[in-house]
Structure 1
């Protein structure tokens, strides 16, 4: 058996960058793409939110990932399938039925990505000792978010450049998605090369569930699970709507209440300062939790995730289009996201502790995805009903339930804190 923690500095960044990239392409970049291809906000909000469904339903097939084969084989095969699906998106964009066809390809990528998440997270928990899991959670979160900003930033910048070069959004986005498929293939090969074969027969047998139904019954019998699930569902209630309408807000003309920015401008903002601040936030969050434990930083991190939403409301009300306040809003939002999401990841790891932790983590993240999908589905309709200014006020209000539930959830105050042995 390969020793636990071996090569973690190499495989953790690559594995979680690969986990984040297809997610951002399916959930966020698709929004920008459809906006530039002429799809309405209401259709964008509704249909791209349905793409969350595989992440909601992934607990239903997570036991199969535990029971069949190794997690390494699962995530490598799923990553290859994602590359094929993204290639399908790129080739389908110039067709007459591009909306239905690209949605079908995004669905394939979404199901493969959700399964990749199950296997990658299970591999993380098998491949690292429990003490190292908290140490690496900041890096894991950072590279996951770096992948998201790569999608929102570099890939969108490339799409904007191609739009300007060809004067044809269809051709520009077709080429962009083909390039994204090639990038996904390169990442798959990289994971094949850097991930050790941790999963001996002993490791597999200790983590395998005893039976399919046992996975679900043992999860829902956990102490105070009702309050825990309410917190998980509401944690991203505001952000789930903001992430759907932030790009349309920046792309729409001032006459429609937007900022009138170009695709390339949005990509530049997210891909430069956004990358840096997201990285700083995620790394800092991991360091502070490993130093002080989760309890001390839970409230500040929940606030950091939601307070920057106020800045979007200010932009909408003042109709400010100047680059400095717009970039500052993105900077604060990305830092707060990276910093705040670290606490959420540690809480999900805590909820998943015990037997069948791979499947239990999949169930917990499935509820997290449900908390993203349902509000996201109505976000376009809410924006059209309230306008951008009223919509962002609503997003700020939507953060209140999670803050209220904070005092009811329970977890060890020292959870995630490194011991002297960890530092050795």
Structure 2
């Protein structure tokens, strides 16, 4: 590995991975850390701040427009355009200098552009990296994404000294610098043009292939369901989901007996082609379930960790210093170590080894919940109790980086490079759905069971994914064979 990293072309690729993921992490850091604080300091009600979290919906739905980036390519131009437009949105926030519908609209545009930027960066990176570099590449992705989030933290600190208007201008400048840096990345490799269907031909093909059409309807059903979280469409359109679900089932039932082998495959189309191709691979449904379940134990505990700290008497300063700042540093280290291990032992072995390691801290939190008494802020906390919780927190952050490195390497290894942006967006969106649902359910679980039993339950939630690990291994083997012997 050391000799491999001495190669100039490898170091160049890894350098640009680092640059690109700083550019990807910064907008998310602004969204998650800067905007809520700015709104609260401008006396926005908590309900309005809650709306900000729903404006992050584009990160979950980005697979819907990922085909456009795959179709037109020129990833670096997409990155630059998204960054320049994000800077304009930040300039609008600086000009508005307050809260209200216009500011919320600017944040909505910002998240839409940021998710588009993510699609372009992920697609470009998947084309850039070779198979043997995915482990260390993912370690760098994790680490420098977090570094971008830390850069957003600097904007937050600067707001104390220069005010929010100039803090937004500073953020806009950083985003523009990111866009220019992305433009300086190496050009994408020229790919041989493939004779695919036109959009009109694809839609005609879908209309004559009920099974493919049902799959698209199911996809749109899921998107509507997620969007309803933010927009509450079901209130304005009674029985909306019943109608869409019924249409999907009817079309799917029709596909069971209506077959026409002379119709061109819909997977050749520019709009839904990549989605239909990846969902139609043998064994892919089991892999989809594996992706949803793999980090379920980690996701299920994540939203309850900080409330646990608060309920046991730890201050915001302690939480920020240990769980956030030190935690980000340790997760970066974990990502780099996890990437190195993945390249050494292979993706399949790292999935089960590092996957198990990533949930061991859940047992530590269960032990802390059993041992530590509840306390209010200001109550003296014994030093041994502090050290116990700090140690578990450090292990959690480091282990999360290990597991994430293996998981991202798996996602990258099972997508085809010619449609990397779309396929990776779909797979990462599946994980985002899992994260959202696990976070939603975690509050009820911790409240009804108590912290100690719930944290133990989150450890057990990691194991259902292992039942599907053989399916993930078969998909890795199939894609590895295809990469070694591409079809003529």
TM-score range, shorter chain: 0.7 to 0.9
Q: Distance in 1 between matches of 2:53 and 2:450?
A: 20
Q: Secondary structure at the match of 1:7?
A: helix
**Runs of 5+ consecutive residues of structure 1 not aligned to the other structure:** 166-170, 417-424
Q: Distance in 2 between matches of 1:178 and 1:4?
A: 36
1:54 equivalent to 2:58? Answer yes
Q: Is the 8 A contact 1:53 1:369 kept in 2?
A: no
1:122 paired residue number:
123
- Which segment is superposed worse, 370-379 or 173-182? 173-182
1:183 equivalent to 2:174? Answer yes
1:66 paired residue number:
70
Match of 2:18 among 13, 23, 30: 13
Number of residue equivalences: 390
Match of 2:362 among 280, 287, 309: 309
1:330 paired residue number:
393
Tell me: higher relative CO, structure 1 or 2? Use CA pairs within 8 A at least 6 residues apart. 1
Deviation track 1:219-259 (CA, whole Å, cap 9, x = no partner) reads 11112111111111122324334444444544x4xxxx253
1:196 equivalent to 2:196? Answer no
1:147 paired residue number:
148
Q: Measure how far apart 1:353 and its partner are.
A: 3.0
Match of 2:315 among 248, 251, 261: 261
Q: CA RMSD in A?
A: 3.9
1:420 paired residue number:
none
Flag the 1:101–1:361 CA change in 2: closer, same or farther, 3 A: same
Q: Distance in 2 between matches of 1:143 and 1:374?
A: 27
Deviation track 1:320-353 (CA, whole Å, cap 9, x = no partner) reads 8555334323321111111110111111112213
Flag the 1:297–1:313 CA change in 2: closer, same or farther, 3 A: same
**Runs of 5+ consecutive residues of structure 2 not aligned to the other structure:** 1-7, 197-267, 376-380, 481-488
Q: Secondary structure at the match of 1:212?
A: coil
Match of 2:434 among 371, 374, 380: 371
Flag the 1:187–1:58 CA change in 2: closer, same or farther, 3 A: same
1:278 equivalent to 2:331? Answer yes
Flag the 1:334–1:102 CA change in 2: closer, same or farther, 3 A: farther
Q: Secondary structure at the match of 2:399?
A: helix
Q: Given the two structures, how large is their TM-score scaled by the length of structure 1?
A: 0.76
Q: Is the 8 A contact 2:79 2:182 kept in 1?
A: no
**1:80-99 maps to which residues of 2 (within 5 A)?**
80-86=84-90, 88=92, 94-95=98-99, 97=100
Q: Distance in 2 between matches of 1:35 and 1:381?
A: 26
Q: Measure how far apart 1:13 and its partner are.
A: 0.6
2:108 paired residue number:
107
Q: Distance in 2 between matches of 1:35 and 1:122?
A: 36
**1:205-220 maps to which residues of 2 (within 5 A)?**
205=193, 210-220=269-279
Q: Measure how far apart 1:368 and its partner are.
A: 1.5
Deviation track 1:68-91 (CA, whole Å, cap 9, x = no partner) reads 251110011112333344455566
